[in-house]
Structure 1
Amino acid sequence: MQLHPSDAQRDWLDDRVRSDQFLLFCFEEPAGDPGHLVAELRRRASAVVELRLHAVAVPGDLDYPYWATGPVGADRFVVHRLPDPSWPGVQEALGELLTDRLDIRASPWRLHLLPGVTGAPRCAAAATVVVLQVSHAFADGARASALARALLSGTAPAGDGAPAGPEAPAVPVMLLRAAARVPLQLGSLLVTGARAGRAERELADPAVPPPAPGCPPSAVNTDPGPRRAVRTIVCPATDLRTVGTVTVGALTAIGSALAEFLGDFPADRLGAEVPVSLAGNRLSRNAYRSTGVRLFAHVRDLRERAAAIADDLAQRRRRITHPAMDLRDRPLAHVPAPLLRFGLARADFGAVPRTVTGTTVVSSVYRGAGDLVLGGAVVRFTAGFPGLSPVMGLTHGVHGIGDVVTLSVTTSPQVLEPGELDRYETVLRAAVAQVARA
């Protein structure tokens, strides 16, 4: 079982555009010391084939890496004893944690435990924060959430009963396969390339919604540098559902916050880059496409604004789920690995575009019922922190579990200094409160 080219591309770009995901789960007062909790989590992980995978590279990257099964080692679990275990201290530690990077050849995931946290939202007693770090080459947001649920649901069977997983072939076999595949890949590339051209013409038909117009770069569409900083706002899901879905409610609030925070930036040009899940059985582990959505921040009536956002999102979803989009994207699946590696090495990510897909990224994932368990304790809330990129210095996560939603803000001190980030958090909290009253 090999990595799909689109997944391998994420891995090969990770040293330039870090894309690891960090899924946070907060448990109030779990029983047992961290060592016992780690032992229990390791047992659960050993029972899930997906969580026993790691990548095996083909020498010289002459072909795409293979997924292979291995033991779940103790090095996949890290316990962090924070000098400041308060919630602000946890947020500071998360900023540092987000600079970590996985090597999928060792493991495509790692689990961090932060015990003894005080003052966590929705927690009257001390809490343990669990952060599942997952490579984007291994899983998208929905798949990573499913893996977290398998790990934290407490229902995994004993590790001894886990089924066997895939194995990588011997190196000589890898190299023979790589050489044999190239002519077939090049032929398929020509065929799918011609079909992609026809798909582009089909997508230009007036019956298909047009692509998002893009946004002019703002003060937060800048290189974030290596450091990270985060903030979280935990609220009942009903606070955002007053104007529609949780996603639409969050976009409505974020539009208000950005318009106020960015000041002179034209409110009618604000937009968000929103990942949208794709249905169907797909070979890639990342089954989504991102699209731009207007935020209509110049519309003062929040219900009218939310309706406009919902309509725009529906139009963009119609386009990116159109069958012609699959045909347009299919050539990538047939690019020989050395050619893809060659092209990625020469890609320029430092160029500042005239327009960006969105002023910010807003990634929204519902992680299911609030029944995850750790040490006998039930989860209180979850959060996620969408990655930054050379032209995206401010992102938002909208992550729900049970009837609780967390809006997260991820940025960099190079983009927003600590005082500016505190001010933006205050502005966003006020915007969420406005949506709750709408």
Structure 2
Amino acid sequence: MAVDLFARSLPVWPPGDPGNATDTIIGGVHFNVTTLNYWNYTLYEGNWTLSNWSRCYLVDQPYTPPLLLTNGTFVNSTWCYLATLPSGPRANTGVGFAVAFALCLIFVLVNLTRHGKLYLPAEKRFYPIGRRWQWYWASFICATALIGLFTGIDVDRYRVVELPLVLNVFFWFLMNMGSIALVWESVRHWGSWMERQFIDPNPFVLQQTDRRGMFEFWLPLFFYLWWWLDFFLVIPRNWGAVELQRSPEQTILKAIPAATDIRFKIAPFLLFISWLTILVSLWHSVRHYEARNRGWLNRIIGFIRYVPFRFLFMIPLSLAVIAYQALAAWEFNYSPLKKDTNLVAMYVGGYVPALLLVIILCVSGFLRPNEDKELIRQRRERGTELDRELGIRHKPAWWKRVRGEVGTGDAVRDQLYRNSHRSTSICSFREAGFTTT
């Protein structure tokens, strides 16, 4: 009975030469069945690979090894985990998105230079890095998207699922987290910018230790608490189980449970709490730094009117990022963790929202001035208005040139020149017989 069970467990090999029970033909090459069985090799005709769970070789032409030694070694063999296939639709679409993210990265760096430059002394209450964080996160999104998309090229080219799929989805999850952080920092900094304009005429009108100030102190900590919890749920894990999609049975038994486990399903809810925190931050800024309206309807209308136009697009797009991640955690067929996934769902739901977030941020960055320059302009306008109220009229620029009061660039030298010129004139008058008082 034991012999019969062992015989039924042996793999079935393609027929070889007639009359030779120990011969099989694979890829046009004769191999010894006894040696193959002894070293526990199995032929997978779905992808034409030969494996014994420790070594794997390609056996279709032109990769068929010409000779099998008795010690189980193939001569001139080709390892399964190599990019031997041509690039497919997943790779080609990914290259297009990678080019778009690379262009966005250039504009992000331009905006970072433009808005991060200081024209006023740095204030302790408003750190310069606060205005730059949104551009740092935009750079992070572009960098993770580029790495993930370029490593995703080999997902189609590998005969057997391997490391490229893991890298592709690993950086995709990081890109999603960066997208939520980008929207948060944009909204948070807008509130900080509203506060800076509000207190610039009178720095003592708002205290930092009041209820409003303490709420703004704790709210970022609350946001990043859930953000980091999402990170620890998704990122530190055994990603090798995702690679186990080398046969339909293996995908069902190994890959699908790993790609839809409880940690992947909880993570979108943590990001959703962070998204709600963004709404609370936006409501808080409008409530304290914009004009108040009476009545619920007027408050809703005023809220929409005061919120920057870019947030009306960025906030729904960030929610779309979370929604697709939740869909991927429940439905494996639409998940980027699947090798032959639905590409429309993967790119439209997984990459388009992040790309649009960066594009909207860059466009708004080119339309908005540097904050220090805008604050200087506001101060100049307030000074002009105060002079007008006090009746002070400043002479035009040509007035000093007519009176010969144009400076030469050295204030001390100009003063000495005027004093010496006045002394010379007085001496000339006295020599002429005139008196001076």
- With normalisation by structure 2, the TM-score equals 0.23
Query: Which fold has the larger relative contact order, with Cα–Cα distance below 8 Å and residues 6 or more apart in sequence?
Result: 1
Looking at secondary structure, tell me which structure has more strand per residue: 1
Greater radius of gyration (CA) = 2
